[in-house]
Homo-oligomer: A and B are copies of this chain.
Amino acid sequence: MKYCFGVDVGGTSVKMGLFRYDGNIMDKWEIRTRTENQGETILADIAESIEGKIAESQILKEDILGIGMGIPAPVTGDGIVYQTANLGWGYKEVKREMEELTALSVSVANDANVAALGEMWLGGGRGHKNLVVVTLGTGVGGAIIVGGECVIGSHGGAGEIGHITVNYDETETCGCGRTGCLEQYASATGIARLARRRLKADDTPSMLRAENQVTAKSVFDAVKEGDQVAEEIASEFGKYLGYALANVAAACDPGVIVVGGGVSKAGPILLGFIERPFRERAYISNVNTAFALAQLGNDAGICGAAKLVLK
């Protein structure tokens, strides 16, 4: 039996998993991310933790295919990071350092891309090789997988679906400094903004008016209760996202579109709001493209990292 490790490095904790090559998770655990002193001990901490797990589980080192790692930063094809927002690292040869620390083969990639690979391997995108993965959280993240591999792009910027322009008349500014980005309508904060705008527009009764602060969650909770205003807000969100995804599909022709992130906890009802406008605008090749919810939650990172080793 062959094994590998999947490591998801975050700003507060490092999640780790021991996988069988067939995708079975044997064990998972986490350690604190020590970001002090430019994060100089992070890799050594991970290496030590993995060595401990190998000893504990009595796996032979020759049965370990390698270690996959997801890092919250752009990563070159050689496993080099130039700058990180949350780990304290500047230039760091992550792959080389980690291979020296563990004497195992190491693969490194960006954490968002790695999570998308996880959903392809063991989650909502199982069975597909061409995927668009969109993550609706505080912002809107994305990843495009072609032939089983994440598209990186010439400047490490591929998959920035959140910054597709969807409204050329918007006056408020996106976090990226431009206006009208998908992220302004389809993120959790974007949905809350659509809700505030809608509630201000007239006096139609809605259970959302009782909320101190309307959130994406309260919008979809109200939809489930049959609230008409909430339904309108969700439809507006879905139109922005569904139309944008139809355009992405015309370019990439995915087999499945996987929707994840905090907003996706609303469940299957969410997909309906996105799929209807998508199918209305999709090109012939894509009218039957499948939609799926992400299934792995916080485990997507360790799963995708493990998959990096097995590809």
Residues of chain A at the chain B interface (Cβ within 8 Å): 128-130, 142, 144, 146, 151-161, 163-165, 168, 176-178, 243-244, 246-248, 250-255, 281, 283-286, 289
Contacts and interface: CB of A to CB of B under 8 A. Distances in A.
Number of copies: 2
Contacts of A254: 153-154
Nearest to A288: B155
A156 B254 CA distance: 10
B156 A247 contact: no
A226 B165 CA distance: 32
A163 B255 contact: no
A250 B253 CA distance: 16
Nearest to A157: B285
Q: Which 6 A-B pairs have the closest CB atoms?
A: A153-B253, A157-B285, A154-B255, A158-B253, A157-B253, A163-B283
7 contacts: A153-B285, A154-B253, A160-B250, A160-B251, A160-B253, A178-B281, A251-B252
Contacts of A154: 128-130, 253-255, 289
A240 to B, nearest CB: 11
Contacts of A159: 251, 253
A252 B253 CA distance: 12
Given A146-B146, A160-B283, A176-B283, A151 B253 contact: yes
A283 B157 contact: yes
Contacts of A161: 250-251
Contacts of A248: 251
Nearest to A77: B147
A243 B255 CA distance: 26
B144 A247 contact: no
A247 B157 CA distance: 12
A181 to B, nearest CB: 8
